[in-house]
A and B are shown apart, each in its own frame.
Chain A
């Protein structure tokens, strides 16, 4: 462990919908073992979960890195998907570009990004059309 804390890296598989959410469960387990308070664990778990699902639905997967410090947890999600055309529109509750087959699975309700913002203390989105998206989220302990 360095002063930069402890890092977890996950590859989020875009092909396999059934394993979406696995990284969130793993992070939750690790944070529990590290003794973080329940509300912090839940915030991180939800933000991770929504981020993972987004990457699977829209970007054919990506990576998730979680940086843990005693007083702050940072999640960095990267994908090489289509990018987000209008971020402020995408941040609106209920807005979704998910296809019908995804919606039929109960996803794509347009709550992903709003929930990620709601459950974290800070969120930054860098996106470029045709290149991909990077989302950084922080949860204070």
Chain B
């Protein structure tokens, strides 16, 4: 299997080796080794929690720089719907689109348009007979990866339709090629303006099953300031949005669900909530649920770590921006069949880190883990570099950590040592004060 390319990385110089990220990582993918955080690549789901909590800004989202755009002759901006929620006193999305053109893009293709197509396909898909319900949204790459690692029984439930960014990328490229026959495909740069690093991972790891149609992933926070300065100069925008309420609503948790036009849905946001919901769906049957929308970030995409605004403020802005938009102007002709090119390959179960391929060996290891756990203090302090005592016991058995890295354990050993020294001193003192001590004292000192 190809190695997974992550989009969360560490600035070693800034990392102090504290336990903030260690404790917050939902998949226990971080360890502190030699005073610095290390991300376990197989376990990381690129949710960005560690970026959010690092007080020293040592965790970074990897994305392309604005300068990287210059390699393309024709640049197409793909704004994520969450971008629209970043601006104060914005009365119309058109200003954002015009601003993007003014800052150097040759064309803008709104991801929210493709989102409306995906909503149409989803409604169509849900009408099929014999589907495993509830159908789970495929839009958040963190969730898709999480399900593939932890929820084998739910892999089949994932909506087999490409996320809006991929469809937008494809349509944008086709549009550019047809409008500008003088351009070669590789001269066109499709630049997605992203709220989160997970979308970067999505592109880099070819989630779509083939090379992504997205060429560059820029961050909203990088684009924000140059964009605002151009937006401030606009008097009347010359372009206008093609999006509707449905597409723009995808920026916030619950937006994708309401577009299913069916009240038997569940929308959860925030990675911890999402994990609990998935555990419960896997356990109990929810015959009444048709669709489940899950967003790793609090509030949905507006809560991504590459955004600028507070997610709840962004959500309120999106609410007022969509008020006078048409419901959903972008529908696949006839809202009929789902085109084959929109299909996403099935999600396959790939557990992150089984103890051993041999079940008997795995059982032996787990028994050792249980034995070691009994000796550990269960404080979950993180000083050993593992997030919990349980994780530490597992690391010891896997040979990745040593028991004496537990500070409580070491203090006990030290304490015993001091007690012994104390005993030795008392013996010495007793011998010295005894009447015939002269005879044996030299022996004692030698010892």
A41 beta carbon closer than 8 Å to chain B: yes
B226 beta carbon closer than 8 Å to chain A: no
Chain B hits for A45, CB < 8 A = 282-283
A42 touches B153 (CB 8 A): yes
B279 touches A36 (CB 8 A): no
A residues 40-87 in Cβ contact with B at 8 Å: 41-42, 45-46, 49, 68, 70
Stretch from B108-116, B361-369, B406-414 contacting the other chain:
B361-369
With CB as the reference atom, state the residue of chain B lying closest to A41. B152
Q: Quick one: which of B283, B284, B366 contacts A30, CB cutoff 8 A?
A: B366
Chain A hits for B364, CB < 8 A = 1
Q: In the complex, how many angstroms separate the beta carbon of B145 from the nearest chain A beta carbon?
A: 16
A102 beta carbon closer than 8 Å to chain B: no
B363 touches A34 (CB 8 A): yes
A34–B362 Cα distance when bound, in Å, is 5
Q: In the complex, how many angstroms separate the beta carbon of B133 from the nearest chain A beta carbon?
A: 16
B349 beta carbon closer than 8 Å to chain A: yes
Known contacts A6-B367, A49-B284; A70 and B360 CB within 8 A of each other: yes
With CB as the reference atom, state the residue of chain B lying closest to A39. B153
A131–B137 Cα distance when bound, in Å, is 47
B283 touches A38 (CB 8 A): no
A6 touches B366 (CB 8 A): yes
State the interface size on chain B (CB cutoff 8 A).
24
Chain A hits for B351, CB < 8 A = 32-33, 35
B363 touches A1 (CB 8 A): yes
A9–B369 Cα distance when bound, in Å, is 14
B residues 319-360 in Cβ contact with A at 8 Å: 349, 351, 353-357, 359-360
A14 beta carbon closer than 8 Å to chain B: no
State the interface size on chain A (CB cutoff 8 A).
22
B354 touches A46 (CB 8 A): no
Q: In the complex, how many angstroms separate the beta carbon of A87 from the nearest chain B beta carbon?
A: 23
A132 beta carbon closer than 8 Å to chain B: no
A36–B349 Cα distance when bound, in Å, is 13
B280 beta carbon closer than 8 Å to chain A: yes
A24 touches B363 (CB 8 A): no
The 0/1 profile, CB within 8 Å of B marked 1, for residues 21-35 of chain A is: 100110010101111
Q: Quick one: which of A34, A38, A39 contacts B359, CB cutoff 8 A?
A: A34
Q: In the complex, how many angstroms separate the beta carbon of B25 from the nearest chain A beta carbon?
A: 15
A16–B351 Cα distance when bound, in Å, is 31
Chain A hits for B367, CB < 8 A = 1, 6
A94 beta carbon closer than 8 Å to chain B: no
Q: In the complex, how many angstroms separate the beta carbon of B136 from the nearest chain A beta carbon?
A: 16
Q: In the complex, how many angstroms separate the beta carbon of A115 from the nearest chain B beta carbon?
A: 8
Q: In the complex, how many angstroms separate the beta carbon of A129 from the nearest chain B beta carbon?
A: 29
B354 touches A32 (CB 8 A): yes
Q: Quick one: which of A21, A28, A32, A70 contacts B363, CB cutoff 8 A?
A: A70
B370 beta carbon closer than 8 Å to chain A: yes
A33–B284 Cα distance when bound, in Å, is 22
B123 beta carbon closer than 8 Å to chain A: no
A21 touches B359 (CB 8 A): no
B150 beta carbon closer than 8 Å to chain A: yes
B283 touches A49 (CB 8 A): yes
With CB as the reference atom, state the residue of chain A lying closest to B355. A33
A5 beta carbon closer than 8 Å to chain B: yes
Chain B hits for A41, CB < 8 A = 152-153
A6–B371 Cα distance when bound, in Å, is 11
A35 touches B355 (CB 8 A): yes
A28 touches B356 (CB 8 A): no
B363 touches A68 (CB 8 A): yes
B366 touches A34 (CB 8 A): yes
Q: Quick one: which of A28, A33, A34, A38 contacts B279, CB cutoff 8 A?
A: A28
A6 touches B363 (CB 8 A): yes
With CB as the reference atom, state the residue of chain A lying closest to B151. A38
Could you name 22 residue pairs across A and B whose Cβ atoms are closer than 8 Å?
A1-B363, A1-B366, A6-B366, A6-B370, A21-B283, A24-B283, A25-B279, A30-B366, A32-B354, A33-B354, A33-B366, A34-B354, A34-B363, A35-B351, A35-B354, A36-B359, A41-B152, A45-B283, A46-B284, A49-B284, A70-B359, A70-B363
B contacts, CB < 8 Å to A: 150, 152-153, 279-280, 282-284, 349, 351, 353-357, 359-360, 362-364, 366-368, 370
The 7 closest A-B pairs by CB, nearest first: A1-B367, A38-B152, A49-B283, A35-B354, A34-B362, A42-B153, A6-B367
Q: Give me 19 other A-B pairs in contact (C-beta within 8 A), A35-B359, A42-B152, A46-B283 excluded.
A: A1-B363, A1-B364, A1-B367, A6-B366, A21-B279, A24-B283, A28-B282, A32-B150, A32-B354, A33-B362, A34-B359, A35-B357, A36-B359, A38-B152, A38-B153, A38-B349, A49-B283, A70-B359, A70-B363
